[in-house]
Amino acid sequence: MRGLWSKMRVTEAPAPASAGGGSRSNTLLTTSNMAVLNIGSLNLDYVYRVDHFVRPGETLAASHRAVHAGGKGLNQSVALARAGATVLHAGCVGADGGMLLEVLKGEGVDVSMLAVHESEASGHTFIQVTEDGENGILYYPGTNGRVTVESMLLALDACEKDDIVMLQNELPDTAGLIEAALERGLRTVLNPSPFDASLLKAPLERLYALIVNETEARGFLADEAEGVEAAGLMALLERRYPDVNLILTLGSRGACGRVPGAEPFFVPAVKMKAVDTTGAGDTFAGYAVAALAAGEDLRTAMNHAAKASAISVTREGAATSIPRRSEVEALAV
């Protein structure tokens, strides 16, 4: 990135000895000359522990309440940074967004492109978490709604050729941001959560990578996906986006990947006891993109991401649950 960092943050951890005496390294992101610009949402997450999701007309007492920094954008920036990537986060917060800024700064994320609107509340969510770790989320955009393509051009113009632009879909004009990034020749990664049909007007066939879960994949494929199982979804995505690196996440089952011109492959999930699945998808996406930015192949990137997301579900919260690189490297599978 031009003028934003004087040098890349290059980190290296010692490779653990392999059980079989081989030389294969489990080290993440040992070298990198590429940065990640993440244009994404920032939310204050209000998390409530409940016996079950609130039903229509029901008043339900929560057993626990916590407030965390979150938003898919912030979560993925934290995951990117903890995986060892150099990250610039662009977006917008309100006068109540001090906690969000401090969390990013504490992770070493560059926040020089974050705007503050004093007259409006930051984005926030109300999250119900059940005893078995499932979650339901109510989202209010707040200042995330202030992010426009025009307001992000300075950040996009700061990128260099091999940098990655990462996008989710909690901002008003993701399709426009995709087009702006692609016009600048930037490697653009989309994690289209939450999915909406406005994304279909973007030139998705030119993306560098597309990271979707089953629900999002079905949104892209519409009627084509009716009655189709996960393996069939990947085949349909391959046909529609032949030149895009594809990741189809399958929750506790694992994930499918496909590099253009190659056969799809499966990465199994790492089994851990789930306490809270909030942020697991963001952890996976951030770790995968950090590995790609460091020059790892897609399968290796997804293996790192699977381990990181497995650790994240054993903890409460979203950004707070994301493991550090040393923890991921230490996890034996």
Catalytic positions, written as ranges = 282
Question: Under a CB-based contact definition with an 8 Å cutoff, are residues 284 and 72 in contact?
Answer: no
What amino acid is encoded at 116 in this protein? V
Question: Under a CB-based contact definition with an 8 Å cutoff, are residues 47 and 3 in contact?
Answer: no
Q: Which of 320, 305, 328 is nearest to 275 (CA)?
A: 320
Q: Which of 167, 173, 218, 215 is nearest to 191 (CA)?
A: 167
Q: Where are the alpha helices (DSSP H) in the chain?
A: 72-82, 98-106, 149-157, 174-183, 214-221, 230-240, 280-293, 298-312, 325-330
Phi, psi of 38 (to 5 degrees): -105, 110
Q: Which of 258, 272, 265, 264 is nearest to 308 (CA)?
A: 272
Write out the two tokens for 134: 């499932």
- Residue 43 burial (CB count, 10 A): 31
> Scanning the structure block, which residue is given the tokens 């940098």?
163
> Scanning the structure block, which residue is given the tokens 């996406």?
285
